[in-house]
Structure 1
Amino acid sequence: MNAESFLKDVSTHLAEVIREDGVYRHIRFSRPNTRCMWFDLITWPGHLCYTGDMGTYVFSRVNDMFEFFRKDSASGIPISPGYWSEKCLAVDGGRRSGSVFEYDHDKFLAVINEYLTSWLEDLDEEHHEEVREAFKGDVLDRLEDGDEHGNYRIANEFSMTVDGHELEFTDLWERSFRRFTHHFLWCCYALVWGIDQYDKLSQKEDAA
């Protein structure tokens, strides 16, 4: 998810001011005649709620949250998902618990392969084939994309001794295998872009 793909999604969006009373605002952004990719920005003192096709997120930091998310440069859509996620009070999750993060299987695979590389560096080459086969059969072939807890369990169950070396995924639990969800990143871009569109609309009205 990047700014370019977001801008394609909102290329025909129009802004509708539903309410504007100081920091009490309700601004809707949508494509004409469709609810696809629509979103609302709703503010009240100390809070901002983003809700729409990509979910619902509530943030809190300063009295006017438009000031918090408003960009300070003329170009681009700068976002800070790490910092902003710390200000997120609530995430919709339907029947499941909501989160701005999701399991990153590619990152998990990369990390356990780092362990394999480290093991092989400590072993004579004559043992490499044996270790690779055990790694593949006992770990890689049993992993499932999306099953974070199951994959942790499979990795932590693996243990073998080769030429006096204990091969285990030591301290794997200390590593992070999370990434921001596509929906949350889309929301971050929408916050900056939407507020910028609102500011431009307000400037036009003031100049009229």
Structure 2
Amino acid sequence: MSDYPEIAARFTRGTAGHEMAVLFDQGLYRHLRFASPDGSGYRFDLHTSPNRLMFSGEVGIYVFSVWPTVDLFKVFSESSVGDQPNFGYWTEKLAAWSEPAIQFSNDRFDAQIAHELAEGENDWPGVTDAWTAKSSGFLAEYSFETEQAARFAACDFSFQADDTESWEPAFKFSDCARWVLDDYDWRYLWACHAALYGIGQYNAATVTEVGQAAQHFDKVPDPLDGCHWCACGNRWPCKDAGAVAA
């Protein structure tokens, strides 16, 4: 079961009609595209080269690198947690990204605030309403667009009911400077699901092709050196294809 079931479900819905297109496949150099024929859903590509895998799509770009293992399809397949991505381990292998994999989470902040307020209501009735008045609506005093702003709001807030004595302690959020407020960004989680899904589709297609006669035709040129390859894996023109013009 996924640690982030809502993202897993979102990925499944968004790729329900996807088909795989192998744009290049020569050893460790691969370019796979996954898209719906009608153009709906989230299209994405997987590129591999020795020690690297790159995801690119509508949710962003993420590049993974592992040494000394050269085939990251193998790394991702073997390190997955059942049929789910291994988010923690794969995050350690990130080499580049369009958006950070881990970012400030408003959901985590809201959950922490709700927990503190629920406990605080026992000794400071009305504290939840006081926080709501300062944190929401047209006259809100606080902003929560960044982690810094959210922490400031939590650390700055205090509450004391009008009918309490001045010597009685006011409500303050406890140790708010130490709250853990970051979490995986949904785009990164989606990309990890896409990578594992794409690798599974590729591996299944590869197994299906075992035992079938090799086909001979000129494939897409290698993007690194411009050389042409036959679909069977030989250099083009292929020695096994007979007398075929290049």
Task: Name the TM-score, length of structure 2 as normaliser.
Answer: 0.68
Return closer, same or farther for 1:72/1:91 CA change in 2, 3 Å cut-off: closer
Structure 2: segments with no counterpart, 5+ residues: 1-5, 161-165, 213-246
1:168 and 2:172 are equivalent in the alignment: yes
CA separation in 2, counterparts of 1:55 and 1:170?
Answer: 37
- Does structure 1 retain, via aligned residues, the 8 Å contact 2:135–2:141? yes
Helix, strand or coil: the match of 2:210?
helix
Report the more deviating stretch, 133-142 or 197-206. 133-142
In the aligned structure 2, how far is the partner of 1:142 from the partner of 1:207? 69
Equivalent in the alignment of 1:29:
34
Deviating more after overlay: 58-67 vs 146-155 = 146-155
Q: Distance in 2 between matches of 1:113 and 1:9?
A: 32
1:91 to 81, 89, 97: 97
Q: Distance in 2 between matches of 1:199 and 1:81?
A: 21
5+ residue gaps, structure 1, are: 93-97
CA-atom RMSD, angstroms?
Answer: 2.8
Aligned to 2:117: 116
Q: Which has the higher contact order (CA 8 A, sep 6+)?
A: 1
**Other-structure match for 2:237:** none
The structure with the greater share of residues assigned to strand is 1
* CA shift for structure 1 position 42: 0.8
Corresponding residue number in structure 2 for 1:95: none
C-alpha deviation, 1:30, in angstroms: 1.6
Q: What amino acid sits opposite 1:172 in the alignment? A: C
Q: What displacement does 1:11 show?
A: 2.2
The 3 A distance-change label for structure 1 pair 44 and 157 is same
CA separation of 1:168 and 1:139: change in aligned 2, threshold 3 A: farther
Partner amino acid for 1:203? V
Greater gyration radius: 2
Amino acid at match of 2:176: L
Correspondent of 1:67 among 70, 74, 77: 74
Change (3 A) 1:119 1:31: closer
The CA distance in 1 between the partners of 2:209 and 2:150, in whole Å, is 56
The percentage of counterpart residues that share the same residue type is 29
Residue in 2 that maps onto 1:128 = 125
CA deviation after TM superposition for structure 1 residue 52, in Å: 1.4
Structure 1 residues 150 and 71: alpha-carbon distance in aligned structure 2, compared to 1, 3 A threshold? same
Runs of 4+ in 1 over 6 A off after TM superposition: none
Q: Find the aligned partners of 2:159 and 2:32 in 1 and give their Cα distance.
A: 59
Q: How many residues align?
A: 196
Q: Distance in 2 between matches of 1:14 and 1:22?
A: 22
Structure 2 residue matching 1:165: 3-state secondary structure: coil
Q: Which residue of 2 aligns with 1:191?
A: 195
- Structure with a larger share of its residues in helix: 1
Question: Could you tell me the TM-score, scaled by structure 1's length?
Answer: 0.78
For residue 205 of structure 1, what is the aligned residue in structure 2?
Answer: 209
Distance verdict in 2 for CA 1:36–1:139, change over 3 Å: closer
Q: Which of 17, 32, 37 is 1:12 aligned to?
A: 17
Q: CA deviation at 1:172?
A: 1.3
Cα distance change, pair 117–165 in 1 and its aligned pair in 2 (3 A): farther
Classify 1:204/1:172 alpha carbon distance in 2 versus 1 (closer, same or farther; 3 Å): same
Answer with 18-27 or 196-205: which moved more.
18-27
The letter for the 1-side match of 2:179 is: R
Aligned to 2:55: 50
Work out whether 1:153 is the aligned partner of 2:152: yes
